[in-house]
Copies of this chain bind each other. A is one copy, B any other.
Amino acid sequence: MNSPQNNTKVYIGIVKQLRTMIEHDGLKPGDRLPSERELSERLGVGRSSVREALRALELLGLIETRRGEGTFMRDFRGHQLVQLLSTFILQDKKSIRDVKETKFLIELDCLWLIIQKASEDRLLRFKKWTLEADYTDDDFFLEIVTLADNHLFLRIWIILKDYYNSLDLEKMMITKQQYAELIDTLISRKDSEVVRVYRNLRKLSKN
């Protein structure tokens, strides 16, 4: 499906070559990449072009550079993307509302995922933990989102959380009782009509 990219910029090509290089050499987080000068020579391009590619990857949080040491693979998390996406894209009031809404719905999605995926026994322990755990809002939902076992939701949620906190808004203050109530409700609805339709659609989407 690759279109004939006639006007492909050099740094984009470098990014792609880096990607295959990383895959081929099996580079993992923490591993070191070749130096800028070596890449420049090996790929037959100028060092500035290499740098443009690296800076882009750095901003995306995929690599990390340390002066005097080198360039390293990074354990991708939200990172810089957070500040940029947030400060650039999320400026008006409506956007802030969208963030709240999205964060909230993702948290509920994860709660739902946990309940759908967990066994009866696991579910009881989960509910018990909900009531007993000593947590702040962030920690609580971080646990929820982690338990949902969906890395993508985790990534997105962390980004939203960081942005949300940077807004210095009033925090949600929800009691443990309310959480427990929600979980109870979701559990009791585990076989409800809505969920059944959800399930059907999901089954279909599993090719």
Task: Report A's interface with B, CB cutoff 8 A.
Answer: 1, 11-12, 15-16, 19, 22-23, 48, 51-53, 55-60, 62, 76, 80-81, 84-85, 87-91, 94-95, 98-102, 104-106, 108-109, 112-113, 150-153, 155-156, 160, 166, 169-170, 172-174, 178, 181-182, 185-186, 189, 192-194, 197-198, 200-202, 204-207
Give bound CA distance, A150 to B185, whole Å.
Answer: 26
When C-beta atoms are compared, the residue in chain B nearest to A156 turns out to be B156
- Known contacts A172-B204, A207-B169: does B62 contact A59 (CB below 8 Å)? no
Q: 25 pairs across A/B with beta carbons < 8 Å?
A: A1-B166, A15-B59, A15-B84, A22-B88, A23-B91, A48-B51, A56-B59, A60-B88, A62-B84, A76-B88, A76-B89, A95-B151, A98-B153, A101-B150, A101-B152, A102-B150, A102-B152, A102-B153, A105-B113, A108-B198, A172-B207, A174-B201, A178-B200, A178-B201, A182-B197
